[in-house]
Amino acid sequence: MLFSDFLPRDVLPKPKRLALLDTLLVDFEKAFPDLRFELRLDRRVVNAQAILLDGKRCVLIYGGIVLHPGLAHDSLTFVVLHEAGHHLARGARLPFNPSLACECVSDHWAAGDGAEILYRKTGRQFQISKAVIELENLLSTEQQFESAHPEKHISNCWNRKWLQRRNALENLHARSPSQLCELMGSK
């Protein structure tokens, strides 16, 4: 999704967090039965990813992101929806993997269609404003610098430009996926 830092090994899963993760995964499997959701607590990278694994569409959710004390229900729900959106959203594709939707289309799907499907099939809701605040607190110093100084960052990927992405997420319902891609320069 966004992050590349690692959660220290001394951060251990608490029973309340494990219960949240269990119910979250049950809800996602119910809402999106065509996807496989895998929790990998042993991997401490603060990330999640959509991949094809053994020919199946899979969302890998790593321990660094789900155990991070700075994240709660809203951001975790958004992260998993975003990754599911790479598989399920229609629109612009990732240039390095055309089987997956691009970042802005995945964000739009997560906050719109994905959130609606999740709610309709499970009753689970989240607030995008809370998710954005929680995710923003996780940005590494390098990512904060890149966001503040885009002229010094060589990649055109809007995923690494947090200020633009945050603004787009906060105004998601006012834009279509294609408008987001154009705004972020990912088309």
- Pairing verdict, β 97-101 and 56-62: unpaired
Confidence check: pLDDT of 11 > 70:
yes
Confidence check: pLDDT of 152 > 50:
no
Q: Name the residue with higher pLDDT: 154 or 2.
A: 2
Domain ranges in the chain are: 15-184
Unique residue bearing structure tokens 């199946």: 56
* pLDDT per position as a tens digit, 67-80: 988 899 999 999 99
Cα dist. 163→6, 27, 121, 137, 148 in Å?
22, 31, 33, 12, 8
Q: Please give the sequence-ordered ranges of beta strands (E in DSSP) within the chain, or none if there are none.
A: 36-40, 48-53, 56-62, 93-94, 97-101
Q: Report the predicted TM-score, pTM, of the whole model to 2 decimal places.
A: 0.80
Report, as an integer, the average pLDDT of 40-61: 92
